[in-house]
Amino acid sequence: MPERWRYDDTMKGIERLTIAVVGGGVAGLGVAWRLAQAGCAVTLFDAGQVPSHNGAATWASAGMICARLEMVDASPPMAAFALSARAAWPAFAAELDRSAGMSCGYLERGALHAFFGRAHAPHPGAGVERIDRATALRLEPGLADDVAAALWAPGEAQADPRWLVLALARACRAAGVTVRAETRINRLLEAQGRVTGVLTAEGPANFDHVVVAAGAWTTGLLKVSNLPGPRLRPVKGELLSLAGDRAVMPVTRLVWTDECYIVPHGDGRIVVGATQLEAGFDTTLDHERIDALRRSAERAVPALARLTELERVCGFRPAADDGLPVLGGIGPQGLTLATGQFRNGILFAPLIADTAAQHTLQGRLPDLARPFAAARFAEAAA
């Protein structure tokens, strides 16, 4: 785990530093919380409610904290970042729960990737074991009878993404963050090579530093501000949730199949996901695809068929062209980006908050985050 940044001489006067954070998803709330804890005067803006319900990736997310099963094909820097984020989660969750006075739904129960019929479990990677049918059924008795084998990743975890952002919003307010919901940032203001503030419908507001954590909308905001930026696109994800009974859950831990994943949360809600589509910002739900997810989940855990469906939602994952996170500065001074987490923004949450806060306060990223520096897009364009 990287060392948390510490107060040093480069940070003198931070208690007078005024910071605008754009975006009230997991990234923006996490950075705002860390900066307020460091003593800065932080104002967080979101175009929607805080936390935002409409298209924000965080609200739609499943909440898996999977540094193994999600990283099978990841590059070494990405895999290292994922493991480090996973290692940071227990302390992050404990501190957040304390600060917010509520649980963020963090659970360490591991994850099973189940294979049915004649399918064979592939070779397991590090931190993952291949287990036989009997062991899989012992771990998760609700699996369909013809489960043939499984991969078992005991170190995987999960959080409830909705409890997580509710907790972060409470922790932010408790730490002194001013939260401006339903206040869209129309443009960033710039003068003499420095970002100087933000423009809302109410007019300009000056800040010493601006953090943009606007998820899939980040590129659009930088473009209308005539600022250089990464090429990020929205990758739409749809999922459904089922009403489980906490006392008799048909599935108790995270289950993957080749067609879907099933995430049982602490309040009984069971999330089944997810589609992955390049469809711009279109919020129309494709019910045939979501029906197919539900059938796949029932194939894996038959008792899910008895549960009532609660909702179907979609959100937009922020994806850079190279699929990597986008952190730190690009173009003018006074600007930090915290985005590009794509499928892993919940897993990465503790590190995104820390690294973007460090960049804001000290102008540098820790070694672990340097491969994800936003400046790589300026270099590519030059």
Ligand X SMILES: Cc1cc2nc3c(=O)[nH]c(=O)nc-3n(C[C@H](O)[C@H](O)[C@H](O)COP(=O)(O)OP(=O)(O)OC[C@H]3O[C@@H](n4cnc5c(N)ncnc54)[C@H](O)[C@@H]3O)c2cc1C
| Residue 335 three-state SS | strand
Sign of CA dihedral 320, 234, 47, 381: positive
CA 259 to chain centre: 21
CB of 168 to ligand X, least distance (A): 10
CB of 66 to ligand X, least distance (A): 7
Binding residue for ligand X (CB under 6 A) from 45, 81, 163, 372? 45
Question: If binding is defined by CB under 6 A, does position 215 make contact with ligand X?
Answer: yes
Question: If binding is defined by CB under 6 A, does position 229 make contact with ligand X?
Answer: no
Region 318-337 residues binding ligand X, contact defined as CB under 6 A: 318
Sign of CA dihedral 111, 162, 215, 346: negative
Question: If binding is defined by CB under 6 A, does position 100 make contact with ligand X?
Answer: no
The span from the CA of 276 to the CA of 80, in Å, is: 24
Region 244-303 residues binding ligand X, contact defined as CB under 6 A: 273-274
**For residue 258, which amino acid is it?**
D
Contact 334, 196 (CB under 8 A): yes
User: Quick one: which segment of 3-11, 99-107, 188-196, 210-218 binds ligand X (CB under 6 A)?
Assistant: 210-218
The span from the CA of 316 to the CA of 54, in Å, is: 10
Contact 156, 66 (CB under 8 A): yes
CB of 320 to ligand X, least distance (A): 11
CB of 157 to ligand X, least distance (A): 10
Binding residue for ligand X (CB under 6 A) from 34, 63, 335, 354? 63
Region 130-169 residues binding ligand X, contact defined as CB under 6 A: none
User: Quick one: which segment of 12-20, 242-250, 286-294, 345-353 binds ligand X (CB under 6 A)?
Assistant: 345-353
CB of 63 to ligand X, least distance (A): 5
How many residues sit in the footprint of ligand X (CB under 6 A)? 43
Which residue, 325 or 371, is less far from ligand X as judged by CB? Answer: 325
- Least Cα distance to 149 among 125, 111, 118, 110 occurs for 118
Beta bridge partners of 264: 270
Binding residue for ligand X (CB under 6 A) from 17, 32, 40, 47? 47
- Least Cα distance to 101 among 156, 169, 170 occurs for 170
Contact 308, 218 (CB under 8 A): no
Residue 23: is it exposed, middle or buried by C-beta count within 10 angstroms (0-12/13-18/19+)?
buried
User: Quick one: which segment of 13-21, 35-43, 51-59, 125-133 binds ligand X (CB under 6 A)?
Assistant: 51-59
Binding residue for ligand X (CB under 6 A) from 71, 347, 365, 373? 347
CB of 158 to ligand X, least distance (A): 8
- Least Cα distance to 242 among 272, 274, 267 occurs for 272
For 4, which DSSP code?
Answer: P
CB of 216 to ligand X, least distance (A): 6
**Which residues sit at the interface with ligand X, rule CB under 6 A?**
22-28, 45-48, 52, 56-58, 60-64, 184-185, 213-217, 221, 237, 239, 273-274, 315, 317-318, 339, 341-347
